[in-house]
Amino acid sequence: MEKVFPEAYKGMYALSACIGKTELTALQKELIKIRVSQINRCAFCLNMHTRDALKLGETSQRIFLLNAWKESALFTEEEKTLLALTEEVTLINEQGVTDSTYRKALQYFTEIQVAQIIMNIVLINGWNRIAVSTHLPIQD
């Protein structure tokens, strides 16, 4: 798809570059990417971003339990807030982003950081949809 519609990919890469410069930590970005990819069942992105998270020092146990973050004591309240926002934006058709989740996000993050989190979520959702719809194979 990149070869047949390169202009669109240039836009995605430009957004990726912009997001790469945000205040969020690399590990926060990977948690977002992994959780969104779990929800969207994107094997290509799950494979890529779990590997990236491990390289950054994330533990296997936390990655294994990310799908059950609400029930796990391994995630901080800040991370749980990040993940709640991640799920609500990804599953926007269910209830939107609730006022309580947005207010809680502002307790841990600045307004610009919340905007950066949302754009990270939007971007990985876009990449997931490209990878899933084009049956992108998992890389070794």
- SS3 sequence of 61-111: HHHHHHHHHHHCCCCCHHHHHHHHHHHHHHCHHHHCCCHHHHHHHHHHCCH
Q: What is the pLDDT of residues 13-35, one digit of tens each?
A: 999 999 999 999 999 999 999 99
Q: Which domains does the chain have, with CATH numbers?
A: 25-133 (1.20.1290.10)
Give the total residue count for the chain.
140
Q: What is the pLDDT of residues 33-88, one digit of tens each?
A: 999 999 999 999 999 999 999 999 999 999 999 999 999 999 999 999 999 999 99
pLDDT, residue 2, reads 86
Tell me the pTM: 0.96
CB atoms within 10 A of CB 137: 10
Q: What is the pLDDT of residues 114-138, one digit of tens each?
A: 999 999 999 999 999 999 999 999 9
pLDDT, residue 139, reads 83
Distance, CA of 32 to CA of 86 (rounded, Å): 6
Cα angle value 78/37/6 (rounded, 5°):
120
| DSSP one-letter code for 138 | P
Distance, CA of 52 to CA of 48 (rounded, Å): 6
